[in-house]
Every structure is written in structure tokens, then in C-alpha cells.
Amino acid sequence: MKVAGSGLSILYVDDDDDIRTIVAMSLQLDPAIDLHMAASGEEALALLDRRGGWTPDVVLLDVMMPELSGPATWARMRERPRFARVPVVFMTARGRPPEVSEYRELGAAGTILKPFDPIHLATQIRTLLSAAPG
């Protein structure tokens, strides 16, 4: 698992342009992060297929997206052997305990609630990854 100070390749998927901009500005504060973004689950899957051998260290997925939700996107990713073990962190405004438990049961490394703290986002992601099993 990646730890603080090491390079980290992230795929961030969110249909909201403004949130993608905030996440990009936030994560670009950490020079060790290689960030790729997609505006939908379909776009993320196409990006992963198109990028050949590239496999992100973690995928940040918005839960509520039109057509292909975050959990549905992750399920489709796991159908591809190369991505089956890539950790996912769900990002959502819906953070009630039953929902967070559902994401955990799906195998998520964690959940980041929106609104999030942009200054500490990279640290929060690394903390979730270091605590995740595997």
C-alpha cells in the first residue's frame, strides 16, 4: 500500500466540473501525486482501457453520477483483471452510517464526505490507503 511521501497515481471520477477543479487544485499541491480525471464512469472506463498498461494506485469515485454510478463504475472496473484489486475511495455528500457501511461492504478502502477539506485531501487519501487491508 502507498504511504506518505511516496508517489501516488490517482484516477478521480466526478460529473461535477467545479468539484473536479477543486480536487485538481487540491491534489496538485502534492508533487508526488499523478492525477488523471474523468467526468463520468463511462469516460473513466474508456480512459483505463485506452491507457494500455497504466493502473492507478487508487480510484476516487463520486457515488452519485448519471447513467453509471460510482459503485456501478467500480463493479465494471473489477470485471477487468488488471483493476480488480485497485482500491477505491468513494466521495459523496451522502455520508449517513448505513451508506458508509454499504460502501465498506462493497470493499471500499474508505469514504470521503463532501464537502471535504481541500488542504488535507491528499493526506486523507493516503491515510485511508495505509489503513486499508491488503
pTM: 0.91
Q: Does residue 73 lie within any of the structural domains?
A: yes
Q: What does the longest C-alpha to C-alpha distance in the chain come to?
A: 38
Q: Does residue 24 lie within any of the structural domains?
A: yes
Q: Does residue 97 lie within any of the structural domains?
A: yes
Q: Does residue 40 lie within any of the structural domains?
A: yes
Number of compact structural domains in the chain: 1
Q: How confident is the model at residue 125 (pLDDT cuts 50, 70, 90)?
A: very high
Structural domain containing residue 66: 8-122
Query: Is there a cis peptide before residue 115, judged by omega within 30 degrees of 0?
Result: yes
Residue 111 has pLDDT above 80, yes or no: yes
Q: Does residue 74 lie within any of the structural domains?
A: yes
Q: Does residue 1 lie within any of the structural domains?
A: no
Q: Does residue 131 lie within any of the structural domains?
A: no
Q: Give the domain CATH number at 39.
A: 3.40.50.2300
Q: Does residue 130 lie within any of the structural domains?
A: no
- Helix H or strand E segment including 106: none
Residue 4 has pLDDT above 70, yes or no: no
Query: pLDDT digit string (tens) for 57-96?
Result: 999 999 999 999 999 999 999 998 989 899 999 999 988 8
Contact of 58 with 87, CB cutoff 8 Å: yes
